[in-house]
Amino acid sequence: MPTLLETQRRFSNALGERLVGEDRLLGGLARGRSEVSEHFAETARGLLRATPRLGADERLGLYQRQYWYRLLDSLAEDFPSLQTLLGRETLFTELEHYIAACPPGSWDLRLFGARLAAFVARSPRLPQDTRRLAAALARRDFAFMEVFDAPRLPEPIDADLEGAELRLQPCVRLLVLHAPVQAWLDDPNSGYAVRPRRRMRELHVVWRARDNRICATHEPLSLLPVLRELERGGTLGRLLGRCRNLPGARTLREAFMRWRAGGLLALAGEPSPRRAAP
Amino acid sequence: MTSLPPLSQRFPLTRQLGIGIGLRVPHYDHILENRPSTDWFEIIAENFMGEGGRALQVLEAIMEQYQVVVHGVGLYPGNAQGLNWEHLRRLKTLVKRTRTPWFTDHLCWGSVDGHHTHDLLPVPYTRESVLRMTENLRIAQDFLEIPVAVENISSYAEFKDNEMTEWEFLNEVAHSADVGVLLDVNNIYVSSVNHGFDPACYIEAVDAERVAQMHIAGHSRYERFVIDTHDHPVIDPVWALYARAVERCGPVATLLEWDARIPSFEEVWAEAQKARRYWKQLSASHAA
């Protein structure tokens, strides 16, 4: 008799085998007998009892299909921009490869897409022109997941901005994206959007607001050093003193007013551990 | 090791709690605005283990008025490689935050070698599985410092190596780990169809003294199998099993699970309240 650990490894490896058959990405369990590989069927016969009602491979196949559908649906829901860019069929093919290459490593399903941006950036199945935008959109989509249940610290609502120890809220993500994301968001049908431009960089900020809405904005790149220093925290004087190439005073003042109104700023002093990606 | 009171005293609220339903996102606004008169809410632990966000805000507001019981889907006490301590630590934070009277999770495994399946998978019903499950449940109960009850799962597969029935396995684990049982009557029905056993035998065999809570739910019937989808009302054969379970175990805290294609709060609550008629029948038979 195999040990419990051996049994679980065989079961887990079988679930991770990619589904076969034309209908594999359509979802649903109601169709007739599903196609399975001979290796899968052999594993099932080795582990499970068959009955006249259901064969061992069908029984293991129910778990396998539920595993794949759960992960595919979850990722597709978590990466809506990527789905709009690639279309459902191309996205699901990409996700299939992702699930096989990077199976879930955390109990938190929201973290499962953490490596998808890097994965699509290298995908040989996507046209080279599309990869960079796909990776940027995937990174932006995943930031929505990251801030969803990140903590919020007290805000400097009444405090004097010039005297207080400030920092960015832990539920803020700064994204430097190497693709024309904003142009694509403004018009996803724009052919211009997927045309690569060398050294292109855009600064996007994603955060969870006071009322728990997830917000995203496109900021001028000139503000990146200030936002990076805000991540480190400090008084306004100190953190601006650490920045090189500060933007003009008016731009800075308006940015801080915008960030304070949007709830991006926090009073520093309380540690806020970020959840590690798997 | 923390010393727990005898099992009979460990779930004192179970006969006072009444009927509950799962706290689900589509009902948040209705509950916060209308404060309906449900007895209690069950929350899925893993949905509230973050450090912020709306879910925790809603939970704080709900806890001002309702008893909340924490139900996990990620403890995986059947894992051969043991428990995930990061998960357990976050779970304990939630347990303390909610002051849940007990914690429930499933008689299953779900991850190996760092691969998380996000499913509730059956273990072979063997001596080795009893020992592993016992050790993990004892660790969890000791670490969480509250009573733990373990739930029978619905399943689609039986292992060739099984050395006992599922109900024998459940009783043995509950006894040796010294935990309560969350008896899911719908899961018994689903597994009975998929494996061809008599669900009434299961109800008769379960250690009634250990049953601390019950679950009822709907499911989806396909041509040759049944899937535990929690997306329909409870069917009559499941209510019949529930009636017998109430006769054997008493009117313990009962919860209706409805997790997909979720209808209005009123509809879910009306379905859950049907459980009361079996409690009344029990009272009437005792009075007679």
CA distance B213 to B151: 9
pLDDT, one tens digit per residue, over A111-124 is 999 999 999 999 99
Sites in chain B below the pLDDT cut of 50 = none
Flag whether pLDDT at A276 surpasses 50: no
Enumerate the residues of chain A whose CB falls inside 8 A of the CB of residue B129: 4
DSSP B56-111: HHHHHHHHTTSEEEEE-SS--TT-TT---HHHHHHHHHHHHHHT-S-EEEES-EEE
In sequence order, what are the residues at sequence separation of 6 or more whose Cβ sits closer than 8 angstroms to the Cβ of residue A18?
A24, A68, A96, A100
Query: B68: which strand partners?
Result: B41
Contact B121, B74 (CB under 8 A): no
Please indicate whether, in this complex, the C-beta atoms of B109 and A8 are within 8 angstroms of each other: yes
Q: One-letter amino acid identity for B224?
A: R
What pLDDT is recorded for position A277? 41
Closest-CA residue of chain A to B154: A63
Size of interface A-B (CB pairs under 8 A): 129
Sole residue written with tokens 């051969």: B80
Q: How far is CA B261 from CA A226, A261, B230, in A?
A: 46, 38, 9
What pLDDT is recorded for position A34? 67
Please indicate whether, in this complex, the C-beta atoms of B112 and A108 are within 8 angstroms of each other: no
Question: How many CB atoms neighbour CB A100 within 10 A?
Answer: 12
Flag whether pLDDT at A33 surpasses 70: no
Distance of alpha carbon B227 from the chain centroid: 17
Q: Is the dihedral of CA A86, A89, A92, A96 positive or negative?
A: negative
CA distance B149 to B184: 12
pLDDT, one tens digit per residue, over B120-150 is 999 999 999 999 999 999 999 999 999 999 9
Question: How many CB atoms neighbour CB A103 within 10 A?
Answer: 18
Please indicate whether, in this complex, the C-beta atoms of A1 and B126 are within 8 angstroms of each other: yes
Enumerate the residues of chain B whose CB falls inside 8 A of the CB of residue A71: 118
Specify the pTM. 0.92
Q: Which long-range contacts (CB under 8 A, 24 or more apart) does A237-242 make?
A: A237/A162, A239/A166
CA distance B200 to B117: 31
Please indicate whether, in this complex, the C-beta atoms of A67 and B123 are within 8 angstroms of each other: no
What pLDDT is recorded for position A239? 87
Segment A30-55 shows an average pLDDT of 85
Residues 118-157 of B with CB under 8 A from A: 118-119, 121, 123-124, 126, 128-129, 132, 156-157
pLDDT, one tens digit per residue, over A224-257 is 999 999 999 999 888 888 888 888 889 999 999 9
What pLDDT is recorded for position A193? 58
Lowest mean pLDDT among A42-46, A116-120, A146-150, A196-200: A196-200
β-sheet with A265-267: strand ranges across = A234-235, A165-168, A265-267
What pLDDT is recorded for position A197? 67
Q: Could you give all domains of chain A from N- to C-terminal order, each with its CATH number? A: 151-278 (3.90.930.50)
Flag whether pLDDT at A31 surpasses 70: no
Enumerate the residues of chain B whose CB falls inside 8 A of the CB of residue A104: 115-118
ipTM score for this prediction: 0.94
Segment A63-84 shows an average pLDDT of 96
Closest CA to B180 of B9, B43, B2, B3: B9
Please indicate whether, in this complex, the C-beta atoms of B119 and A105 are within 8 angstroms of each other: no
